[in-house]
Structure 1
Amino acid sequence: MTSPRLRTLGNKIVGPGHPVYVTGEIGINHNGDLENAFALIDAAAEAGCDAVKFQKRTPEVCTPRDQWDIERDTPWGRMTYIEYRHRVEFDEEGYRAIDEYCRKRGIDWFASPWDVESVEFLEKFDVPCYKVASASLTDDELLRAMRATGRTVVLSTGMSTPKQIRHAVEVLGSENIVLCHATSTYPAKAAELNLRMIHTLQAEYPNVPIGYSGHETGLQTTLAAVALGACFVERHITLDRAMWGSDQAASVEPQGLQRLVRDIRTIEESLGDGVKKVYDSEIGPMKKLRRVKGVVAETEEAAAGTDREPATV
């Protein structure tokens, strides 16, 4: 890697000139069910995603103590909030099964650890990177723990000010991060996506690859993020947007995920290199349709209709 704007995620390179790294964010949309997780991994693999992502929490650390005993209705009956938080977490045996299943499907997996203990837990696995959830951007202790692993860290910037983002980048170190623009509303309104922030971050952090973590409904705005230069894309995925769970409504179902990855690859191919050319395929139409050749001569290649390389104009 010669460019300072390239990062390694597993066996893939992320950054300008390389395919967009597409992540299907499973999060807790599995609702604590391994079969749901496997089905979501299948959907991501079949769509052509590079990875799936989970969320890992230590419930007693991440749940405020005054909320532990609050009861709520869940698909598994009425339970306390701390019981619910445990219900949707996979233990080591569960993640061993996920790790094995992802290897079988040929897709990477990683997670957003929400506390230092979860970083230590995930270090039992050879994940390609860590993800900092937008809500964790201000947790310096957690950021330092991720940095200490030496793995690439993907940092989402939702609900954060420019000063907070700069501080987080300083804590993590800019040499081994991917920075993602995000708006942390579920689902996010189009008017609040502010996709031009991708260009702002590119200018502010010239040595860091810039990505996009989307929480909107629909696909077109995520595709626009790719056209604006996002080299890493993450969208929540679900088996059914009507399933129980806070993130389901802002997630992409399997058929939509297939379209999203397909269209991202088409956009990548169509962006080109920004150098104007006369393509061989244009020579026939040029001869047929251009009535006046103009005062600037056509290139020899175009005039002759040869099979040489397209001429730069």
Structure 2
Amino acid sequence: MEPFTIGNRKIGPDEPTYVIAEAGSNHNGDLEIAKELIDVAADAGADAVKFQTFRAEDLYVEDSGDVEYLEDERSIYEIIESMEMPYEWIPILYDYCNQRGIDFMSTPFDERSASELEEYVSAWKVASYTSSHIPFLEYLADTEMPIIMSTGAHSLEEVSESVSVLRSAGVSDLVLLQCVAAYPTPLSEINLRVIETLSNEFEIISGLSDHTLDPTIAPSAAVALGACVVEKHFTLDKSMDGPDHEFALEPAELQDMITTIRATETALGSSEKRVLEVENELYEKARRAVHAVSDISAGERISEENVKILRSGSQEGGLPPKFYKEITGKIAARPINSGKGIEWDDIDV
């Protein structure tokens, strides 16, 4: 799993988690709200802010009916049509992201939208429902940009087919995100261990696209399981009109999520087991060693009555506990004061 670069950030197992703040269509068709979302993501410390670029006519059949979970009387086609982001916003939002020092991303749902975005993004984000759209994956592969692909509502076999297509098309910089296509996703259904499954099955960088309501549990656990990318929806206010606001994080929650992810990375630390500098004092004072518990004369036998395995405190430590039985029964080579750590030089061997 070789790391690769998006913008100025390396993506990989030994790199900080790449955090995507998913603005989606929560701009509600207002450019100033879109800019405010960028401000919130940048202030929270996200690496990228991501919108969605689509056209209803390229996404749904016109007579598409409704979707129960949205609780909206309009058809899904009408809802999607109302959420379209104007193409002319793309360079404006790209420039504003550059001003704020955050990567601009937007998920394309069709070739036309991808062609509008190509000049302004340094990686593609593929939505779950597009991950089995093989002709579209081949189109994106031809651009030779990295791809981050969600896997919600697809089986491992279907994911495998998509990965094979992308690899055959020359895509080596690829991330798979565990995702559950439920809005919101219950914690009991998020199945974070799939992050490891994806990584092991495809020898690939993996991560999480999260739709649970809690801002920290799933993202921080995902990082602990090896997620290199974490994506989560956010909004200015959950009470705003629109289908994606209710399950999105508010600004303070987004900040909390990113702070917790960074703290989790700090806590994960190194895989090397060693004595750390911060342990030095107690390494000396609290580890046990063999100590005399009464004065021992030269020629006297070392026994369970005159030596014990004790913490040394401010005394100089003696032999490690593993030598206790070996020295018991031996003869003292010189006087040993009570409390002294017993060394090999103290024993007639």
Q: Report if the CA contact (8 A) 2:213-2:247 is conserved.
A: yes
Cα deviation for residue 117 of structure 1 reads: 1.2
Q: Which has the higher contact order (CA 8 A, sep 6+)?
A: 1
Partner residue in 2 for 1:114? 109
Cα deviation for residue 272 of structure 1 reads: 2.0
Which blocks of at least 5 consecutive residues in structure 1 are unaligned?
297-313
Indicate which of 121, 146, 150 corresponds to 2:144: 150
Question: Which secondary structure does the structure 2 equivalent of 1:185 belong to?
Answer: coil
Partner residue in 2 for 1:305? none
> 2 CA distance for matches of 1:68 and 1:56?
22
Question: Which secondary structure does the structure 2 equivalent of 1:295 belong to?
Answer: helix
Residues 58-83 of structure 1 show CA distances to partners (whole Å, capped at 9, x for unaligned) of 221112121499xxx999xx988656
Cα deviation for residue 222 of structure 1 reads: 1.2
> 2 CA distance for matches of 1:74 and 1:16?
40
> 1 CA distance for matches of 2:31 and 2:165?
35
1:70-219 equivalences under 5 Å are 84-123=79-118, 125-173=119-167, 175-206=172-203, 208-218=204-214, 219=216
TM-score by length of 1: 0.86
Change (3 A) 1:225 1:81: closer
Asked if 1:16 corresponds to 2:13, the answer is: yes
Indicate which of 32, 42, 55 corresponds to 2:29: 32
Cα deviation for residue 93 of structure 1 reads: 2.2
Say how many residue pairs are matched. Answer: 287
> 1 CA distance for matches of 2:55 and 2:165?
23
Q: Determine which structure has the larger helix proportion and give its number.
A: 1
Cα deviation for residue 113 of structure 1 reads: 0.8
1:213-292 equivalences under 5 Å are 213-218=209-214, 219-292=216-289
| Identity of matched residues, % | 38
Q: Report if the CA contact (8 A) 2:208-2:231 is conserved.
A: yes
Residues 160-195 of structure 1 show CA distances to partners (whole Å, capped at 9, x for unaligned) of 001100011111125121111111110001111111
> 2 CA distance for matches of 1:285 and 1:169?
51
Change (3 A) 1:281 1:175: same
Structure 1 stretches (4+) deviating beyond 3 angstroms? 78-87
Partner residue in 2 for 1:310? none
> 2 CA distance for matches of 1:259 and 1:280?
30
Question: Which secondary structure does the structure 1 equivalent of 2:235 belong to?
Answer: coil
Question: Which secondary structure does the structure 2 equivalent of 1:211 belong to?
Answer: strand
Q: Report if the CA contact (8 A) 1:42-1:105 is conserved.
A: yes
Cα deviation for residue 275 of structure 1 reads: 1.1
Q: Report if the CA contact (8 A) 2:94-2:120 is conserved.
A: no
Change (3 A) 1:68 1:117: farther
Amino acid at match of 1:92: Y
Change (3 A) 1:74 1:88: farther
Change (3 A) 1:281 1:81: closer
Amino acid at match of 1:294: P
Residues 28-74 of structure 1 show CA distances to partners (whole Å, capped at 9, x for unaligned) of 111111111111111110011010111111221112121499xxx99
> 2 CA distance for matches of 1:85 and 1:162?
28
Q: CA RMSD in A?
A: 2.4
Amino acid at match of 1:289: A
Q: Report if the CA contact (8 A) 1:132-1:156 is conserved.
A: yes
Asked if 1:54 corresponds to 2:51, the answer is: yes
Q: Report if the CA contact (8 A) 1:119-1:145 is conserved.
A: no
